[in-house]
Structure 1
Amino acid sequence: MTGPSGFSGALARWVQSVLGPIQVVRDASHPRTNSQVWEVASRAGRHFVKVAPDPILYTRETRAYREAVPQLGHAGAPAMRDSSAELLALILTAVDGEPLKCETSLARRRDAHRQAGQLLRRFHDVLPSRRAQSEAGAVIEATVTGLEKHIAAAGNHLSVTEADLLRRIVSALPAIGPLPCGLRHGDFWERNIIWTGRRCALIDYERSTPGPLVADFVKLATTVWPDLPELGTSLLAGYGRPLSDIEQQALVSFAAADAASALAYGPLHGDERVTARGRRTVERLTQEGRWR
């Protein structure tokens, strides 16, 4: 076996016990300290080996792969070949394609968003709303109570006026009303939509938890849809229904909370893309009527 130094010892022995002799093709980790992902090749084909940052994320992802991901179909997502709770590791089949953010054709992006909406709807429908509803209150409470921590961490990246605006918008979330609930993907945006040019698949389920489904639309609604609203139209057409009025209201509140989180995380970790997402959302929210 050849490859990066991080892929060795017990992890390498376990992977080879499942796949046979392997070669590490590349380190596929995201540019953050707790991301550990490798692409490997063997006689069994291409796979990805992923080590979760902690037991909670490992449990979430393995649950999603066992209970929800199979509903997306063979081409709609990777399959979990094996997992190790001791190593917090998963072996996943590879899907063809590149992240959708690399697609330059607007027509193909529209088709990809429509397909992604179909996949997301299948994922959301796995867990009946009544089972997820019990956890929705905790999600909303955590969103509201966690806001102050994010505002404090954002420091001078938020003005006093902007921070007060986010507080007002997020504080309205508990009173909006019952929201459709289910198993959320948790990190649904173009980075995690893999696209061949004709077909898309969803990856990365470590943040999958039960709760209000509308929260899954926040990242696209704050990054892609402002400039290309037709992509939002395509995605919701694939999803099979528009967002209700109360979901639209909740989307704004979740987006405001996400902006504070992004401005807390992005500057601290040198992530310009996350920082830009937070800043742009704040600027949109301060322009009356712009969000609507």
Structure 2
Amino acid sequence: MTEPASLPASLAPWVESVVGTIQVARDASHARTNSQVWEVTSRTGRYFVKVAPKAVFYTRETRAYGEAVRRLGYANAPALKNSSAELLALTLTAVDGEPLKSEASPARRRAAHEQAGRLLHRFHDALPNHEAQTEAANAVEATVAGLEKHLAAASGHLSGTEADMLRHLVSTLPGLRPLLAGLLHGDFWERNMLWNGQRCALIDYERSTPGPLVADFVKLATAVWPDHPELGTALFAGYGRTLSAVEQQALVAFAAADAASALAYGPRHGDTHVTARGRRTVERLAREGLR
């Protein structure tokens, strides 16, 4: 058994029991302190090993693989090779492709979004609406209840008028229930769409949880679609339906909550991209809503 330098000694024996002797290991973590991901190669293939930062993320991701990911089809998502609750670790098969980039050709980017919409619909349908309604209602309540904490943390980046606007928009959420519900991906945006030139695959399910389906569209609606509305059109063509009028209202409210969260998180962690997304959303909501 080998002990690759980039794979912790506490993790390597378990990984090799799953995939065989490791030939190559590479740190593939995201640029944040709690990300622990490695790409490993053995005689049996190429894999990714992921250690969840918290037990709740491990539970969410293993549930997603057990209940929903298999619905996406071969090569459209990784497969769970094995998992360890003790280590909070998962070994996943690798799928071809790189995270979708904004500089991809317009035609390929549209194709990727349309395929991603089809995959997301399959994922959402893994949990029927009636089974997800209680947790969706809880998610709405948590969004409303958590707003003041985010606004307090973001106070240096919001005017009083802007904060009141966000409060008003988020306060409309309870009146919009019940929203269509299912199993959310939880982090649905281009970073988690792998594109190999012909096919889109979805990855990263640690934030998957039951909730209102519209919540899965917030990141794209605030960060991508303002400049590229054609990508929203393509995604919903793949998804098989557009948002209802009530879901459109809910999308605005969830975007307002996301902006407050982004302006609380981004500056504190030095994440300029998250901060910019939050700031831009606030300005756009103040100017025109989220159409």
Q: What's the counterpart of residue 234 of structure 1?
A: 234
Q: What is the DSSP-based 3-state SS (H/G/I as helix, E as strand, rest coil) of the residue aligned with 1:10?
A: coil
Q: Which residue identity is paired with 2:155?
A: G
User: Aligned letter for 2:43?
Assistant: R
**Structure 1: which amino acid aligns with 2:45?**
G
Contact 1:2/1:24, CA 8 A, preserved across alignment: no
**Mapped partners of 2:15, 2:164: distance in 1:** 50
Cα separation, 2, equivalents of 1:121 and 1:273: 28
CA–CA distance in structure 2, aligned partners of residues 32 and 62 of structure 1: 22
For residues 86 and 147 of structure 2, the distance between their equivalents in structure 1, rounded to whole angstroms, comes to 34
Aligned to 1:25: 25
- Post-superposition offset of 1:255: 0.4
User: Which residues of 2 match residues 3-82 of structure 1 at below 5 A?
Assistant: 3-5=4-6, 7-82=7-82
* Equivalent position amino acid for 1:224 in 2: V
Shift of 1:107: 0.7
The aligned residue for residue 291 of structure 1 is 290
SS at match of 1:230: helix
Matching of residue 184 in structure 1 with residue 190 in structure 2:
no
Q: Does 1:139 align with 2:139?
A: yes
Please report how far the alpha carbon of residue 26 of structure 1 lies from its aligned counterpart in structure 2 after TM superposition.
Answer: 1.8
Offset of residue 155 of structure 1: 2.5
* Identity score, percent: 72
Cα shift readout 1:73-110 (whole Å, capped 9, x = no counterpart): 11110000000000000000001010012552011100
Provide the TM-score with structure 2 as the length reference: 0.97
Deviations 1:187-234 (A, max 9, x none): 000000000011000000000000100000000000110000000000
Measure the CA separation in 1 of the matches of 2:257 and 2:200: 29
**Secondary structure of the equivalent of 2:10?**
helix
Structure 2 Cα separation of the partners of residues 200 and 273 of structure 1: 24
Give the distance between the partners of 1:4 and 1:244, measured in 2 at CA: 52
2:218 equivalent to 1:222: no
Partner amino acid, structure 2, of 1:148: E
AA paired with 1:131?
E
CA distance in 2, matches of 1:170, 1:24: 48
- Residue in 1 that maps onto 2:173: 173
**Separation in 2 of the partners of 1:101 and 1:259?**
23
Distance 1:180 1:193, change over 3 A: same
| Mean CA deviation greater in 99-108 or 230-239 | 99-108
3-state secondary structure, aligned to 1:33? coil
Q: 1:72 to 1:238 in 2, by over 3 A?
A: same
Q: Counterpart amino acid of 2:98?
A: E
| Distance in 1, Cα, partners of 2:245 & 2:102 | 32
TM-score by length of 1: 0.97
- Contiguous gaps of at least 5 residues in structure 2: none
Measured in 1, the distance between the counterparts of 2:8 and 2:262 equals 34
| SS across alignment from 1:146 | helix
Contact 2:137 2:177 in 1 (8 A): no
Q: For 1:104-162, what per-residue CA distance to the aligned partner results, in whole angstroms no more than 9, with x for missing partners?
A: 20111000000000000000011000000011111000000100111111131111111
Cα pair 1:83 1:91 within 8 Å, conserved? yes
Q: Separation in 1 of the partners of 2:65 and 2:101?
A: 24
5 Å-filtered alignment, 1:223-262, equals: 223-262=223-262
* Residue pair 1:4, 1:24 contacting (<8 A) in 2 also: no
Matched position secondary structure for 1:280: helix
Q: How many residues align?
A: 290
Once residues 256 and 24 of structure 1 are traced to their aligned partners in structure 2, the CA distance between those partners, rounded to angstroms, is: 44
Q: Compute the displacement of 1:4 (Å).
A: 4.4
User: In the TM superposition, what are the counterparts of 1:78-157 in structure 2 within 5 Å?
Assistant: 78-101=78-101, 103-157=103-157
- The alignment partner of 1:86 has SS state of coil
- Letter aligned with residue 291 of structure 1: L
| Counterpart contact for 1:2–1:23, Cα < 8 Å | no
Per the alignment, in what secondary structure is the counterpart of residue 78 of structure 2? coil
AA aligned to 1:123 is F
Q: Quote how far apart the aligned CAs of 1:9 are.
A: 2.1
CA distance in 2, matches of 1:37, 1:271: 20
Moved more, 148-157 or 202-211: 148-157
- CA root-mean-square deviation: 1.1
Measure, in 2, the Cα distance between the counterparts of 1:90 and 1:115.
Answer: 26
Measure, in 2, the Cα distance between the counterparts of 1:49 and 1:177. Answer: 39
Question: Partner letter of residue 270 of structure 1?
Answer: G
State the SS of the aligned residue for 2:131: helix
| Partner SS state of residue 114, structure 2 | helix
List runs of 5+ in structure 1 lacking aligned partners: none
